[in-house]
Amino acid sequence: MLLAHGYGCDQAMWRFLVPAFQDDYRLVLFDYVGAGKSDLSQYNREKYGTLDGYARDLLDIIDAVSGAPVIFVGHSVSAMIGVLAANERPDAFERLLLLGPSPCYINRDQYHGGFTKEDIDALLRTLDENHLGWSRAMAPVIMRNEDRPELALELAESFCRTDPEIAKHFARVTFLSDNRADLPLVTVPSLILQCAEDVIAPPFVGEFVHQHLRDSTLVNMRATGHCPHLSSPAETVEAIKNYLNQ
């Protein structure tokens, strides 16, 4: 089971899920370049100018650690990175488990990604000008669960630990990406975990992903915000286990 963290996070974000699966699966956790304890010298701006560069890293990790198809767990932008990797090498994946996936964050025609182009431009401009301030302001919006401010604080601190220049570039690549056309190409069975009150990936987006992934299961969770593996790990584990045990 390969667990891929979302934007501004690192592998520590999976710590509540690890105990639930470590007895039944070989778990592989990693940090994208720029996050956690990754080797910053490996960052190449051209390679990571699209999500395809991150997808290539996923396939390299799978080749290095597994002789069999993996169960992929991808949070947020990693969901689409996993989709790209699975389209490149479907034989490398047994299942795709997608937490809060969004193929496009910008509203386009009849598609409602949750943000206008002006919203995204302003978000990226603020991030460019004040990485730390952006991190502290955005974390509570992304996390929700206002009754547990320690969760938003953890997310903000994770944002702040990410290399700022890489974080700015990764944000631009993430929020300006449009992977809607990649969804119908997926042949790997998929689970979509859709949270309530998620400003990053609202319910319309989860339903859109479900409609365009041919062999997918959609679970609408009670969990609120964009990080159910932190805010509602028990519900997240239950949904994953129910799906894998079908």
| Residues with active-site annotation | 76, 198, 226
User: 194-223 burial, b if ≥16 CB within 10 A, otherwise e?
Assistant: bbeebebbbbebbebbbebbeebbbbebeb
Name the nearest CA neighbour of 97 among 74, 66, 128: 74
The packing angle between helices 117-129 and 131-143, to 10°, is 130
- Spatial neighbors of 114 by CB under 8 A, at least 6 apart, are 102, 105, 107, 199, 200, 201, 202, 204, 205
Name the nearest CA neighbour of 226 among 116, 109, 107, 105: 105
- In which element (H, E) is residue 71 found? strand 70-75
- Between CA 176 and CA 157 the distance in angstroms is 24
